[in-house]
């Protein structure tokens, strides 16, 4: 199975400051169709996860533009340009290039 490793596992950020989460896969996520299937999710406390970013860098409908996904191959990053209080929760990346689809362990973001 493709192993997806997120770092850090937790971070504490002052409102208005940036945050960055890394996601590394054990093999390249570039599919034979030329697309890279790496997505990001946020699970707010007590809620179901919701989609933030798909195919590395495409923001899902309604996602604020302070969320930015980037990367290629095996290395990917989710950046939040200016963290807000509502951004607290656990962030997961997921690869969907290979079956079974696999998630990172999650990164817990808290506000200082």
Partner 1 sequence: EVQLVESGGGLVQPGGSLRLSCTASGFSFTCCWMTWVRQAPGKGLEWVAHISQDGRSTYYVDSVKGRFTISRDNAKNSLFLQMDSLRAEDTSVYYCVKYLSRALDYWGQGTLVTVSS
Chain contacts with partner 1 (rule: CB under 8 A)? 37, 39, 41, 48-51, 54-55, 60, 92, 94, 96-97, 99-106
| Smallest separation, CB 87 to partner 1 (Å) | 18
The residue assigned the tokens 């400051």 is 17
Cβ-based nearer residue to partner 1, 39 or 74: 39
Nearest Cα neighbor of 1 from 105, 106, 102, 104 is 102
Q: Which among 52, 48, 47 is positioned nearest to 65, based on CA atoms? A: 52
Closest approach, Cβ 105 to partner 1, in A, equals 5
Cβ proximity to partner 1, 85 vs 99, nearer residue: 99
- Which of residues 63 and 112 has its CB atom nearest to partner 1 in the complex? 63
User: Nearest approach, Cβ of 102 to partner 1 (angstroms)?
Assistant: 7
**Least distance from partner 1 to the Cβ atom of residue 18, Å:** 24
Query: Rounded CA gap, 28 and 67, in Å?
Result: 23
Q: Are 61 and 53 in contact (CB under 8 A)?
A: no
Between the alpha carbon of residue 71 and those of residues 30, 32, 39, the distances in Å are 11, 17, 11
Q: Which is nearer to partner 1, 35 or 82 (CB)?
A: 35
């Amino acid at each position: 199975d493709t192993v997806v490793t997120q770092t850090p596992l937790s971070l504490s950020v002052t409102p208005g400051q940036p945050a960055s989460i890394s996601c590394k896969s054990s093999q390249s996520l570039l599919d034979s169709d030329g697309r890279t299937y790496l997505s990001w999710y946020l699970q707010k406390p007590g809620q179901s996860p919701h989609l933030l970013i798909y195919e590395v860098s495409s923001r899902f409908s309604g996602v604020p533009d302070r969320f930015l996904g980037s990367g290629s191959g095996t290395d990917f990053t989710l950046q939040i340009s200016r963290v807000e209080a509502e951004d607290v929760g656990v962030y997961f990346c997921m690869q969907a290039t290979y079956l079974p689809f696999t998630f990172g362990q999650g990164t817990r973001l808290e506000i200082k």
